[in-house]
Amino acid sequence: MRTSRRAFLDTAARLGAGVATASVLPLGAVDRALAAKPREPANSGAAAGVTGDASLGSHAAAHRLLYGCAVNMNALAADAAYAALIREQCRIVVAENAMKWGALRPTPDGFNFEQADALLAFAEANRMKIRGHNLVWHRDNPRWFDAQATAANARGLLVTHIETVVGRYAGRIHSWDVVNEAIDVADGRPDGLRNSPWLRLVGEEYIELAFKTARDADPQALLTYNDYGTEQETRAGEQKRAAAIELLRRMVARRVPVDAVGVQSHIAAWATQAGGIPVAAMPYGAGLMRFIASARELGLQVFITEMDVNDRALPADVPGRDAAVATAYRQYLELVLGDPAVRLVLTWGITDRYTWLNREEGRADGLPERPLPFDAADRAAPAFFAMRDSFDRRAALSSHG
Ligand code: G3I
């Protein structure tokens, strides 16, 4: 359970608890109808209307997009319906946890690739692309790291890790999240860099070192800088976007090999009406689109890397929550898909049954959240249809030809 104020703010930012802007966007009539839509039978992944050509992956592919999700490897091994759902819906997958330092590095000299290898086996058997997540992060480092990493050995630790992990899968990875969440403006540095263990031990050049080492280890993989909190139309969002685009500008200017920026997109559904009166707002908009355009102008692709829509701010009733979550997916995706630099969309999980959000602070009423395209019984939620419609509308959305 997180305790510090910083951790709370960090979580709030990651959960997209943005401040709503003034404009009023009523709950879409379509989404209201969808929310009332008779439920698909359980495990509707096998039901007509959401698989094959009707799947998210197929509809995305028809519009030059890759759709996929983060995979819980324990669930993949134990839950055949979960594996089938991913197989039916996804063209790309990423390990939720299995390729982080915490999973790969049980000891300073040892690597455990069991679950990472299992992900590649599953993905390649199902002709899916694979994202690697992540090579450098301030969180989820193994217990020995804090005790044993020093200013003297940290560079070597970083280079050996990246050479070994990226080298093992060279030629088989679509893209790597090389550095994850390196920016935290609240830490007070003029460049906005987070006071990460890597910054303290190696200096700010840890970022450049990580990207160059990854490129040398796998010249084919697209190298991504991934972060959260660049989404909100708030002062904090603007500060984060400014620091992130300046970091990317410095990297490009110094010919650091970076190919893409990840916009995690852990966003929050907003209360679209109270007592039937439209009240609020999509708290995402022009600032995010300026950020995406700036990345495009730097020659970068833009990946929506970890999308989910938490429903914590909403009343308990399920149809109302599902409708607001669907509206959030629809409006957020129709915003970002307007820029042709956006080339892939991954949700952070695919079924509510395994969402990380229910392992976090959760809803005040303790009800399980409903943040993903399929509910906990693998029935296609209104969010599924909203996402698929947004993919279909891409051609009409593109504001850059
Ligand atoms: O597997 C162990 C289990 O054996 C043990 O009993 C349990 C008790 O703590 O922990 C379990 O591991 C947890 C793991 O998730 C699997 O559930 C870790 O403690 C927990 O820290 C870990 O949380 C993950 C978190 O990243 C930190 O790595 C979440 O699942 C994962 O969804 C979340 O994903 C991050 C992205 O990587 C980066 N962007 C933000 C996103 C959400 O925080």
Question: Can 96 be counted among the known catalytic residues?
Answer: no
Q: What is the pLDDT of residue 361?
A: 84
Q: Does the active-site annotation cover 306?
A: yes
Query: HSE of 44 in the Cβ direction (CA atoms, 13 Å)?
Result: 23
Q: What is the pLDDT of residue 21?
A: 35
Separation of CA 142 and ligand 1 centre (Å): 12
Listed range (5-14, 150-159, 354-363) with the worst mean pLDDT: 5-14
pLDDT digit string (tens) for 168-221? 999 999 999 999 999 999 999 999 999 999 999 999 999 999 999 999 999 999
| Atom 16 (ligand 1) nearest CA | 97
CA of 97 to the centre of ligand 1 (A): 6
> Which amino acid residue places its CA nearest to atom 30 of ligand 1?
356
Indicate whether 270 pLDDT > 90.
no
Among protein residues, the one whose CA lies closest to atom 4 of ligand 1: 74
For ligand 1, residues with CB inside 6 Å are 14, 96-97, 100, 139-140, 180, 228, 264, 306, 356, 359
Residue 48's pLDDT band (cuts 50, 70, 90): low
Q: Give the integer Cα–Cα distance in Å for 288 and 226.
A: 15
CA of 64 to the centre of ligand 1 (A): 31
Q: What's the pTM?
A: 0.89
Which atom of ligand 1 lies closest to the CA of 133? Answer: 37
The one-letter code for the residue type at 211 is F
